[in-house]
A and B are shown apart, each in its own frame.
Chain A
Amino acid sequence: MKVHAERDRCIGAGLCTLHAPAVFDQEDDGMVVVLNERPTGTDADDARKVAEHLCPGKAVRITGG
Chain B
Amino acid sequence: MTDAETKMAKCPVAPHGWPNPLLPEYDQLPEGRPLTQVTMPSGSKAWLVAQHDQIQRLLADNRFSVEPHPTFPIRFPAPQELLDMIARDAKNLLVTMDPPRHTRVRQMALPDFTIKAAEKLRPRMQDLIDYYLDKMEAEGAPADLVQALALPFPAQVICELAGIPENDREIFTRNAAIMVGTRHSYTMEQKLAANEELMKYFAALVTEKQSNPTDDMLGNFIARAGKTDEFDHHGLTLMTKMLLLAGYEFIVNRIALGIQALVENPEQLAALRADMPGLMPKTVDEVLRYYSLVDEIIARVALEDVEIDGVTIKAGEGILVLKGLADRDPAKYPNPDVFDIHRDSRDHLAFGYGVHQCLGQHVARLMLEMSLTSLVERFPGLRLVESDEPIELIDGLPPVHKLTIGW
Least CB distance, B95 to chain A, in whole angstroms: 13
Q: Which residue of B115, B116, B357 contacts A11 across the interface (Cβ within 8 Å)?
A: B357
Once A13-B361, A56-B357 are accepted as A-B contacts, the answer to whether A29 and B107 lie under 8 Å apart by CB is yes
Q: Which residue of A14, A49, A57, A58 contacts B115 across the interface (Cβ within 8 Å)?
A: A14
Q: Which residue of A12, A15, A18 contacts B107 across the interface (Cβ within 8 Å)?
A: A12
Beta-carbon contacts under 8 Å, A10-65 to B: 11-15, 17-19, 26, 28-30, 49, 53-54, 56-58
Chain A-chain B contacts (Cβ-Cβ < 8 Å), number: 52
Bound form: Cα–Cα A12–B116 in Å: 12
Q: Is B60 an interface residue (CB 8 A)?
A: yes
Query: Do A28 and B111 touch (CB < 8 A)?
Result: yes
Query: Do B110 and A12 touch (CB < 8 A)?
Result: yes
Q: Is B191 an interface residue (CB 8 A)?
A: no
Once A18-B362, A19-B346, A53-B347 are accepted as A-B contacts, the answer to whether A26 and B116 lie under 8 Å apart by CB is yes
Least CB distance, A57 to chain B, in whole angstroms: 6
Bound form: Cα–Cα A5–B347 in Å: 19
Query: Do A18 and B115 touch (CB < 8 A)?
Result: yes
Residues of B within 8 A of A28 (CB): 111, 114, 116
Beta-carbon contacts under 8 Å, B334-361 to A: 346-347, 352-355, 357, 361
| B interface: dominant SS | helix
Nearest to B362 among chain A residues (CB) is: A14
Query: Do A54 and B111 touch (CB < 8 A)?
Result: no
Bound form: Cα–Cα A19–B347 in Å: 10
Query: Do B56 and A53 touch (CB < 8 A)?
Result: yes
Least CB distance, A9 to chain B, in whole angstroms: 9
Least CB distance, A61 to chain B, in whole angstroms: 13
Residues of B within 8 A of A49 (CB): 346-347
Beta-carbon contacts under 8 Å, B110-146 to A: 110-111, 113-116
Query: Do B362 and A57 touch (CB < 8 A)?
Result: no
Bound form: Cα–Cα A15–B111 in Å: 15
Bound form: Cα–Cα A13–B351 in Å: 10
Least CB distance, B212 to chain A, in whole angstroms: 24
Q: Is B209 an interface residue (CB 8 A)?
A: no
Q: Which residue of B60, B114, B354 contacts A14 across the interface (Cβ within 8 Å)?
A: B114
Residues of A within 8 A of B346 (CB): 15, 19, 49, 53-54
Bound form: Cα–Cα A49–B352 in Å: 17
Least CB distance, A27 to chain B, in whole angstroms: 8
Q: Could you write out 29 A-B pairs with CB less than 8 Å apart?
A: A11-B355, A11-B357, A12-B110, A13-B361, A14-B114, A14-B115, A18-B115, A26-B115, A28-B111, A28-B114, A28-B116, A29-B107, A29-B110, A30-B107, A30-B110, A30-B111, A30-B114, A49-B346, A53-B346, A53-B347, A54-B346, A54-B347, A56-B59, A56-B60, A56-B353, A56-B354, A56-B357, A57-B354, A57-B355
Interface residues of B (CB under 8 A from A): 56, 59-60, 103, 106-107, 110-111, 113-116, 346-347, 352-355, 357, 361-362
Interface residues of A (CB under 8 A from B): 11-15, 17-19, 26, 28-30, 49, 53-54, 56-58
